[in-house]
């Protein structure tokens, strides 16, 4: 299996949970600068340790994530990370200008020498308040934007676009992506609609903020739909995001992680959609969660104590040997070839030590067949 380091670039001062959008009355530019510098240091360390990917994402109006434009962060990452792929999982394309997204991904692919992984996501339900986009249009906007972006990357001649949501007289982007025909694309396959679309377009699938049981069902739908379209996804086309904490022993790892035991158990505690129930309810009522709405919304509220989180695939924690066994179990049960890891700990120095232990004592053995 391959390993990716995921960071939401959190604001490194504890904030009272006041929902979403978060007020900025306690914001400190010094803390924000320190937080971004720490994230860049972590990405660089992961590269030195041999991680296959580093990953940034797009979220708005919250100290949980300081990357409302992940393209900007990825450009900085490209100057520090020299070997690993640079993944953006993602750009939330239904709320963006898709031509701009195509241009920015092409710029990043050029800056990085062809190392970009292009994540195309719809975002969490709250994102649709950010730029005033109707969540009822989310899936259709996503599909049209996805097709437009791919054509912008691959069409050698200027072309026009007249769609339901997007209209452009002329499109002819410069620079072009380095990777041909275009950078690898990943999208969420958590919902049946998304899994079926990814399979129809032969796009790789990602799973985040979920559990093994729910992910297993999503992978089943994705693989069955892929077979109907005449292909079979490889392990490298399936990604699973999970929080992790490694220490010298199981007891030490659990003791260090204990202050977070009652907090969110998935990657970085990022549950922005659940942070504003009114916004989430409005999006749900508009059909944002699709035909499997109850199951989709329930995955956002997964939790439990440490043992339950480990059992359900929301957390890997323990000594290097224990975490290796947990990683192999996820790979075996889901058939995923990429684990995207959020190193979540109460203090930055614990996260760094956890990352170092994983990179030196887990990752080499995780790659063994």
pLDDT of residue 263 exceeding 60, the answer is: no
The pLDDT tens digits of the residues spanning 284-328 come to: 888 898 877 666 555 555 667 899 999 999 999 999 999 999 999
Rounded Cα distance between 291 and 137, Å, is: 15
- Note the pLDDT of residue 269: 42
- The pLDDT score that the predictor gives to residue 144 is 98
pLDDT of residue 274 exceeding 90, the answer is no
Q: 2-366: what CATH class?
A: alpha beta
- The ranges assigned to domains in the chain are 2-366
Residue 323 has what pLDDT? Answer: 98
Query: DSSP code of 238?
Result: E
Give me the pLDDT at residue 299, please: 55
Q: What is the pLDDT of residue 19?
A: 84
pLDDT of residue 17: 58
The values of phi and psi at residue 209, to 5°, are 50, 55
pLDDT more than 70, % of the chain? 92
pLDDT in tens, 316-357: 999 999 999 999 999 999 999 999 999 999 899 999 999 999
pLDDT exceeds cutoff 50 at 11: yes
Look at strands 167-171 and 159-162 and give their pairing. antiparallel
Mean pLDDT of 227-241: 98
Minimum mean pLDDT range among 8-17, 86-95, 212-221: 8-17
C-alpha to C-alpha distance for 129 and 311, rounded to whole angstroms:
35
**pLDDT at res. 291:** 78
> What integer pLDDT is reported at residue 303 of this predicted model?
67
User: Is the model's pLDDT at 211 over the cut of 60?
Assistant: yes
337 C-beta neighbours (distance < 10 Å), count: 18
- Does pLDDT of 68 surpass 60? yes
């Amino acid at each position: 299996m391959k390993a990716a380091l995921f960071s939401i670039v959190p604001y490194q001062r504890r904030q009272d949970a006041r929902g979403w959008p978060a007020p900025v009355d306690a914001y400190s530019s010094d803390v924000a600068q320190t937080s971004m510098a720490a994230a860049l240091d972590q990405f660089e360390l992961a590269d030195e340790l041999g991680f296959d990917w580093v990953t940034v994402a797009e979220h708005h109006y919250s100290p949980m994530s300081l990357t409302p434009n992940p393209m900007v962060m990825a450009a900085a990452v490209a100057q520090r990370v020299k070997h690993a792929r640079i993944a953006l999982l993602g750009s939330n394309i239904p709320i963006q200008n898709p031509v701009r997204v195509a241009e920015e991904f092409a710029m990043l692919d050029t800056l990085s020498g062809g190392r970009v992984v292009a994540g195309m996501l719809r975002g969490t339900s709250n994102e649709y308040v950010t730029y005033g986009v109707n969540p009822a249009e989310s899936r259709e906007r996503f599909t049209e934007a996805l097709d437009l972006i791919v054509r912008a990357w691959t069409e050698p001649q200027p072309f026009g676009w007249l769609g339901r949501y997007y209209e452009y007289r002329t499109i002819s982007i410069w620079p072009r992506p380095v990777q041909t025909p275009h950078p690898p694309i990943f999208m969420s396959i958590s919902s049946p609609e998304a899994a079926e679309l990814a399979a129809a377009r032969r796009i790789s699938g990602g799973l985040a903020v979920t559990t093994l049981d729910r992910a297993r069902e999503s992978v089943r739908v994705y693989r069955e739909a892929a077979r109907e379209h005449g292909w079979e996804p490889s392990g490298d086309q399936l990604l699973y995001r999970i929080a992790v904490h490694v220490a010298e022993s199981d007891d030490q790892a659990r003791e260090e992680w204990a202050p977070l035991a009652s907090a969110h158990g998935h990657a970085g505690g990022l549950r922005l959609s659940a942070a504003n129930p009114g916004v989430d309810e409005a999006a749900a009522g508009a059909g944002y969660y699709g035909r499997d709405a109850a199951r989709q919304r329930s995955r956002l509220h997964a939790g439990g104590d440490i043992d339950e989180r480990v059992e359900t695939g929301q957390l890997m924690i323990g000594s290097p040997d224990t975490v290796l066994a947990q990683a192999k179990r996820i790979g075996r049960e889901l058939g995923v070839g990429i684990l995207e890891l959020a190193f979540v700990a109460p203090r930055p120095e614990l996260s760094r030590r956890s990352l170092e232990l994983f990179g030196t004592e887990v990752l080499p053995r995780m790659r063994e067949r």
